[in-house]
Chains A and B, each alone.
Chain A
Amino acid sequence: EIVLTQSPGTLSLSPGERATLSCRASLSIRSSYLDWYQQKPGQAPRLLIYGASSRAAGIPERFTGSGSGTDFTLVISRLEPEDFAVYYCQHYGSSPPYTFGQGTKVEIK
C-alpha cells in the first residue's frame, strides 16, 4: 500500500500569496496515479488535478500540479478568498487501495 505524506499540515497565507503544497509517496509511483482534491467545510471533495498535472474541468489556471516519482506539488499561484480550504492528494493506482494523504489546510493568515 502506498502511503502519502502531505506537508505542511497547515499553511497560513494571505490572499494574493503563492501556496506550495507537498505530497510525498512512500514508494515511487506513476505520475498518472496522483490526483489532488480540494475540500471546503461542509462540502464534498472536488477534483482539482488528475495525472499529477492535468487540471480537471472548470479548474482555474492558478492551480498547477507537478512532480514525479515520490515527490508531487500543488501550487496555487495567487490565493483567492475561495481557495482557503483543505487539500488532499490521492494515489489512484492500477489496483486498490486508493489511498489519500492526510491533507493540508490552507488558512487565512
Chain B
Amino acid sequence: EMQLVESGGGLVKPGGSLRLSCAASGFTFGNYRMNWVRQTLGKGLEWVSSISPGSGNIYYADSVRGRFTISRDNADNSLYLQMSSLRAEDTAVYYCARTEVYGDYGDAFDIWGQGTMVTVSS
C-alpha cells in the first residue's frame, strides 16, 4: 500500500522552529516530486513547497520563502520541512503529498499523508 506518514508537529512559540518529517512507503520515493500543503483550521488548502526527485528544483510559496526549507533523503524515503521564524499564521495542518505526472493530462497530488498539526502560539 502506498502511504505517506507525517510527524513532528506540535506547539511552538512565535519565532520558534520546528522540523516536520514525512515517511513514504509502498512506492519508489526517489522517482517522485514531493510537496507540502497546509490547511488552516476551518479554512482551505495552501500549497507550501515542492521538491523535485533529485532535489535540483525547489519551490516555495511567497508566504514561507526565506523561513521554510524543504529537503528529502531518497535513501531513507523521507521528506522534510524545516520551519523557522514561525508566526501565528503558520498554524495549520501540514500534509505531505506526492505528485503524479499524467503526461498530457497534467499533474496532481495523488497521495496524501494524514497530516500533522502545527500550532504557533505563546
What is the number of contacts between chain A and chain B, taking CB atoms within 8 Å?
Answer: 72
The secondary structure that dominates the A interface is: loop
0 or 1 for each of B40-55: is its CB under 8 Å from A? (1 = yes): 0000111100100000
Binds A, one of B71-79, B81-89, B101-109: B101-109
Residues of A within 8 A of B47 (CB): 96-100
Question: Could you tell me which residues of chain B, from 91 to 105, have a CB within 8 Å of some CB in chain A?
Answer: 95, 100, 102, 104-105
Residues of B within 8 A of A46 (CB): 112
Residues of A within 8 A of B35 (CB): 98
Question: Could you tell me which residues of chain B, from 56 to 84, have a CB within 8 Å of some CB in chain A?
Answer: 59, 61-62
* Contact between B45 and A54, CB atoms less than 8 A apart: no
* Contact between A92 and B45, CB atoms less than 8 A apart: no
Of the four ranges (under 10, 10 to 19, 20 to 34, 35 or more), the interface on chain B belongs to: 20 to 34
Question: Could you tell me which residues of chain A, from 25 to 58, have a CB within 8 Å of some CB in chain B?
Answer: 30, 32-35, 37, 43-47, 50-51, 54, 56-57
Given A56-B108, A96-B59, also A50-B102 (CB < 8 A) = yes
Q: Using a CB–CB distance below 8 Å, which chain B residues touch chain A? A: 35, 44-47, 50, 59, 61-62, 95, 100, 102, 104-110, 112-115
